[in-house]
Structure 1
Amino acid sequence: MRKTLLPFLALALATGLACGFGGDTSTGDEAVATPVQGLESPAADATDPAPAKSTPTKPAPGRPTPLTCQQLQTASLGSAAQPYNGYRDPIPLVDGMWSGEDGVVVQLQAPCAVGELTGDNAADAVVPVLMDGGGTGKFWQLAMFRNVDGRPSYVTMVEIGDRTPIEKVAISAGRARVEFLMRPEDPSSSVDLIRRTAVYELDGTTLAEIGYIDAPA
């Protein structure tokens, strides 16, 4: 009889433990972890128990690769719709430079920036340009290139000013931010140079300034 009851009691004890601890044990005071949107871990593939191998980052299918600053070194400034500084034909850059028969020298400057400006999820680029006509004027500009199938296509250019060196360029939230040095517009100003941070947004085929902040350099 004892041999018969022992298995039965063991089974009953196991069943009781399962019933007593298998239910909801929360007291209502515990914090509940909520996944942050965009940071959730992807579900594991149950059919592939092998660990995932590290592979180089590639653009999603159908999405062009981001432009690079190096690509701009051999791009062309100007287009039929947006001529560069009145030149009828686009001017081709070689190693980031072009020299015209009129003595004008155009050269890309550092730093450039890559990021989304057109809303098509293909990272574009902006780069400072210095145009030297041979005189005292050194005209700084900001050129924008659109990403067309992973290649730079000139869109437009913004005049920054004469002898206004661009020091920083960045693209964030669909806008280009440019930091440069300039002389005060007010002749009575007590400072010699101003550091201006201007923000631009693409409006059709124009980079439109939407605001700026000045500070003593």
Structure 2
Amino acid sequence: MDSRGGRPGQVAARWGRAGARAPHAGAGREVAGAHYAAADLIERKNMRRTLLPLAALALVLVAGGCTIEINDGTTPDPGGSSTPSESPVTDEPFGDGSSENDNVSPTAAPPAKAAALTCDQVAESELGSAKVRYNDYPDPIPLTEGRWAGEDGVVVALQPPCAIGDLTGDGAADAVRAVMLDGGGTGKFWGIVLWRNVKGVPAYVGTVDLGDRTPVEKVTISAGQAHVVYLTRPDDASMVELVIERTATYRLIDGKLEEIGYVDKPHS
């Protein structure tokens, strides 16, 4: 009998050949260590395959302006728990800003509306501007109490018919008033003047000539249009035959007051 508890032939067959030594504990540890080393190498290779694409993706996202948050924006402390990030926390808005307890700003007040022009106000303004001349005068004509007298004897005087309302579409009330130019002879040339409201100050826009001895009876403004009632005559009538009452309608078109229609009726 062999000292290992079997016959010599059986022991030799068990370990491959007669006389071979049986493996000892140190050899088993070497085999296990080699196995673990091979497994660790495979795991490291797999991690590289996973981490490299993730790193490349992170670089692309950062270059594109994206923000990457880890752990939902929280930072783990040494004990393993998470602490909130330092990003500010905003409460849900409530209120309308009228109370000190509301956390929203009050609604901004709308811009102040320009005060409406007045008929007395335009009587102290000017006829003509740097861009638009009145009756070919090179400079604006300053009015005093609605009148101006030139060195050549010409007198320009505003007439009572006047209307206030929005003609420019900006919500501010403009002014239209009748005017007459007296050249010193028999001619009395009538017209209407439009002043635009610029922050409550009249700014000359233009004049519409109505003709010689065609007195204006009435001026009104509605729906962005000016309605002017004045007396006139047929083309073949004498200057004194004011037998037509004309109601003409005007609208501001391309910066000019243009007639868009009229209605005539007999006048006696």
Q: Which TM-score applies when normalising by structure 2?
A: 0.57
Query: Structure 1 CA distance, aligned partners of 2:135 and 2:174?
Result: 22
1:173 paired residue among 218, 223, 244: 223
2:250 paired residue among 200, 207, 212: 200
Residue type at the aligned position of 1:197: T
Identity, in percent, stands at 58
CA deviation after TM superposition for structure 1 residue 165, in Å: 0.3
Tell me, what secondary structure is at the counterpart of 1:112?
A: strand
Deviations 1:106-151 (A, max 9, x none): 0000120000000000000000001000000000010000000101
Task: Report the CA distance shift for 1:192/1:174 in structure 2 as closer, same or farther (over 3 A).
Answer: closer
Task: Report the CA distance shift for 1:111/1:187 in structure 2 as closer, same or farther (over 3 A).
Answer: closer
Task: Tell me if the contact between 2:228 and 2:248 (Cα under 8 Å) persists in the aligned partners.
Answer: yes
Task: Report the CA distance shift for 1:123/1:210 in structure 2 as closer, same or farther (over 3 A).
Answer: same
Q: Which consecutive unaligned segments of at least 5 residues does structure 2 have? A: 1-97, 99-109
Deviations 1:68-112 (A, max 9, x none): 111011000001211000000000000100000111000000120
Alignment root-mean-square deviation, CA: 1.7
Task: Tell me if the contact between 2:193 and 2:206 (Cα under 8 Å) persists in the aligned partners.
Answer: yes
Instruction: Name the counterpart of 2:235.
Output: 185
Are residues 1:107 and 2:157 paired? yes
Question: Radius of gyration: which is bigger?
Answer: 2
Task: Tell me if the contact between 2:124 and 2:143 (Cα under 8 Å) persists in the aligned partners.
Answer: yes
Query: Structure 2 CA distance, aligned partners of 1:124 and 1:110?
Result: 16
Instruction: Name the counterpart of 2:138.
Output: 88
Tell me, what secondary structure is at the counterpart of 2:190?
A: strand
Instruction: Name the counterpart of 1:97.
Output: 147
Q: Following superposition of structure 1 onto structure 2, how do residues 133-144 of structure 1 map, counting pairs within 5 Å?
A: 133-144=183-194
Runs of 4 or more off by more than 6 Å in structure 1?
Answer: none
Query: Structure 2 CA distance, aligned partners of 1:192 and 1:203?
Result: 30
Query: Structure 1 CA distance, aligned partners of 2:121 and 2:230?
Result: 24
Instruction: Name the counterpart of 1:40.
Output: none
Tell me, what secondary structure is at the counterpart of 2:161?
A: coil
Are residues 1:78 and 2:128 paired? yes
CA deviation after TM superposition for structure 1 residue 204, in Å: 1.9
Residue type at the aligned position of 1:121: G
Q: Which consecutive unaligned segments of at least 5 residues does structure 1 have? A: 1-46, 48-59
Q: Following superposition of structure 1 onto structure 2, how do residues 23-102 of structure 1 map, counting pairs within 5 Å?
A: 61-102=111-152
Deviations 1:43-87 (A, max 9, x none): xxxx9xxxxxxxxxxxx7421011011101100000121100000
Task: Report the CA distance shift for 1:183/1:89 in structure 2 as closer, same or farther (over 3 A).
Answer: same
Are residues 1:214 and 2:264 paired? yes
Query: Structure 2 CA distance, aligned partners of 1:192 and 1:116?
Result: 31
Q: How many positions carry a matched residue from both structures?
A: 157
Query: Structure 2 CA distance, aligned partners of 1:108 and 1:192?
Result: 21
Instruction: Name the counterpart of 1:118.
Output: 168
Compare relative contact order (CA 8 Å, sep 6+) and give the higher one, 1 or 2.
1
1:145 paired residue among 162, 184, 195: 195
Tell me, what secondary structure is at the counterpart of 1:109?
A: strand
Query: Structure 2 CA distance, aligned partners of 1:169 and 1:187?
Result: 25
Q: Which TM-score applies when normalising by structure 1?
A: 0.69
Query: Structure 2 CA distance, aligned partners of 1:186 and 1:207?
Result: 27
CA deviation after TM superposition for structure 1 residue 185, in Å: 2.2
Tell me, what secondary structure is at the counterpart of 2:164?
A: strand
